[in-house]
Amino acid sequence: MDFSFTDEQSMLRDTVASYLADNYAFDARRTAIKSEAGWRPEVWKAFAEELGILGAPFSEELGGLGGGPVDNMVVMEEFGKALVVEPYMGTVVIGGGFLKHSGHAGAPDLIEKIIAGDAIFAFAYAEPQARYTWQDLKTTATKDGTGYLINGQKAVVVGAPWATHLIVTARTGGGQRDAQGVSVFLVDKSAPGVTTRDYPTVDGQRASEVTFENVSVGVDALIGAEGHGLPLVEKVMDEAIAATCAEACGVLRRLQEGTVEYTRTRKQFGVPISSFQVLQHRMVDMFIQLEQSISMTYMATIRLSDEAHERAQAISAAKVQIGKACRFVGQNAVQLHGGMAITDEMAIGHYFKRATMIEGVFGSTDHHLARYEALSFGKAA
């Protein structure tokens, strides 16, 4: 049993943290997310070239740093602390995850491009009618000669405005909500028939509504086996959830520490408000939520390599803890900051917004509780 980080992982953390301290201050971020592009391609270039972190979870044969999920965890936690919006999740964790696990013929080339910062991925899985049921798909991919024609609409595809590639779930068979018949495709975002409507999200990211109209792709666009894509989707999604938990730990830490700091300096009734016991106990409860979230993130990240059932149960348990912590710590951070927290100027409110959105990312707390129940109680229930 070991919860320590390797020297490489500690170095990775230091590298990311020090770059973000120099280049990702709150004001710089605020300017960037309000700009037309909504992100800073030069930061992405630095991730690729200066820091080399876009290869963190890829093997050395593929040109990566030889890490894995723990390395994603390290990077994402630091990103959470700085509220990084650049698309590491979509590109490295999710895009990279699909490529690594599927054995896709084009994977080595594409991973090389990811590591170089030249390929950016967004995951088009959600649909307007489906909440968090990944196989609820109206998007179809029908056979067309040797390839497929994709038709459908995808909802809130985070990072799509910046993406070069989309990973798309579509139905090649079965009914709308069947587990069978789900396939995964790699689609060039510039392919004819792909249209996007881009917009900002409330937490400073960018997303798109993506429409596919008779988008023609070759058979080589298929990732994994036709009609049997759901287990692959679940596996990559679980990895993305673990990485989201790690990001949340960074966000929660800033919320908790920022609140302690603020209450020490804010005076009312002639004393720092941190001297009030009712606020002290609230901050202790925030701290406990943070620590429990860190514990669950470690647990979930380590269990990513377990069998599908155990992996899924661990991931959902962690997401439940994270979701609850995001709500409790976020709301109380705002409460203890008072009115200042709901001004756009103060950083704390922006952490609160991200924490709140994380509650729903890849499945809400209720969704994951229900998934956990099904996995833990099985037939008994």
Partner 1 sequence: MNLDFSAEDVAFREEVRTFIAENYPKDLRAKQDSGEPLGKDDYLAWHKVLAKKGWVAPSWPKEFGGTDWTPTQKYIWSEEQARADTIAVLPFGVSMLAPVIYTFGTEEQKKEFLPGIYNGEVWWCQGYSEPGAGSDLASLKTKAERMTGDDGKEYYIVNGQKTWTTLGQFADWGFFLVKTDPDVKPQAGISFLLIDMKSPGIEVRPIITLEGGHEVNDVFLDNVKVPVENRIFHENQGWTCAKALLAHERSGIAGVARSKRGLERLREMATTEMSDLGGPLLSDTFFKRKVAELEIDLTALEFTELRTLAGESSGKGPGPESSILKIKGTEIQQRLQELALEAAGHYGAPFLRDLGHNANIGPSYADGVAGDYFNGRKTSIYGGSNEIQRNIIAKMVLGL
Q: For residue 122, what are the contacts with CB-CB under 8 A and spacing of at least 6?
A: 87, 90, 157, 158, 159, 160, 162, 163, 165, 166, 167, 189, 208
Output the DSSP codes for 261-280. Answer: HHHHH-EETTEEGGG-HHHH
Segment near partner 1 (CB under 8 A); pick from 104-112, 233-241, 292-300, 345-353: 292-300
Query: What minimum distance in Å lies between the beta carbon of 225 and partner 1?
Result: 31
**Judged by CB, which is closer to partner 1: 75, or 157?**
75
From 10-18, 31-39, 231-239, 279-287, give the range in contact with partner 1 by CB under 8 A. Answer: 279-287
Q: Which of 28, 299, 347, 357 binds partner 1 (CB under 8 A)?
A: 299
CB 88 within 8 A of CB 75: yes
- Which of the 8 DSSP states describes residue 340? G
Residue 267 touching partner 1 (CB under 8 A): no
Least Cα distance to 59 among 17, 27, 100 occurs for 100
135 versus 259: smaller Cβ distance to partner 1: 259
302-331 footprint of partner 1 as x/- string (CB under 8 A): xx-------------x--xx----------
CB contact at 8 A, 185 and 221: yes
For residues 72 and 140, which CB has a smaller minimum distance to partner 1 in the complex?
Answer: 72
Count of Cβ atoms closer than 10 Å to residue 145 Cβ: 9
Site string for partner 1, 24-63 (x = CB under 8 A): ----------------------------------------
Rounded CA-CA distance 166/124 in Å is: 6
CA dihedral 99, 182, 322, 250 (to 10 degrees): 30
Per-residue binding string, partner 1, 227-266, x by CB under 8 A, is ---------------------------------x--xx--
Of 216, 235, 241, the C-alpha closest to 323 is: 241
Contact 352, 336 (CB under 8 A): no
Residue 292 near partner 1 by CB under 8 A: yes
Residues making contact with partner 1 (CB under 8 A): 1-5, 70, 260, 263-264, 274-275, 277, 280-281, 283-285, 287-288, 291-296, 298-299, 301-303, 317, 320-321, 369, 372-373, 376-377, 380-381
